[in-house]
């Protein structure tokens, strides 16, 4: 049973436009959410996080939105750049996971020049 779902295996976006990556979760006890980015042949690296007490967190070109009622979060990248091409993982944690991360399957983002 996947508690964190990223339903789009891949996404292609034109350079300079907005990239929106989506993530859904099923466990209402999750209260902290993170996005990680992964390049080929490298380990994932932390990108941005959000606590359930907020509905938005912004860091430069990256913004994460959290909709608790819908159990949905999204990552917006504006403007998209070629270096953003990578696999993006959504992850969540809470008391039910003993505060360890439950990961989504990842979305491969391709930025077209």
Q: Which residues bind another protein (CB under 8 A)?
A: 32, 41-46, 89, 93-94, 97-101, 103-106
User: Per this entry, what is the length of the chain?
Assistant: 113
Q: Which is nearer to another protein, 82 or 99 (CB)?
A: 99
Q: Which is nearer to another protein, 45 or 67 (CB)?
A: 45
Cα angle, residue 34 at apex, residues 113 and 25 outer, rounded to 5°: 100
Q: Which is nearer to another protein, 47 or 77 (CB)?
A: 47
Q: 60, exposed or middle or buried, with CB in 10 Å at 0-12, 13-18, 19+?
A: exposed
CA-CA distance, 76 to 35, in Å (whole number)?
A: 11
Question: What would the two tokens of residue 70 be?
Answer: 């819908």
């Amino acid at each position: 049973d996947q508690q964190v779902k990223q339903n789009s295996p891949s996404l292609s976006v034109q350079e300079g436009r907005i990239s929106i990556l989506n993530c859904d979760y099923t466990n209402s006890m999750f209260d902290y959410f993170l996005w990680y980015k992964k390049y080929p042949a490298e380990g994932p690296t932390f990108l941005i996080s959000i606590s359930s007490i907020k509905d938005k967190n912004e860091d430069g070109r990256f913004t994460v939105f959290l909709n608790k009622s819908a159990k949905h979060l999204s990552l917006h990248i504006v403007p998209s750049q070629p270096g953003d091409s990578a696999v993006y993982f959504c992850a969540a944690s809470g008391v039910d996971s003993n505060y360890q991360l439950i990961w989504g399957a990842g979305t491969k983002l391709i930025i077209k020049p």
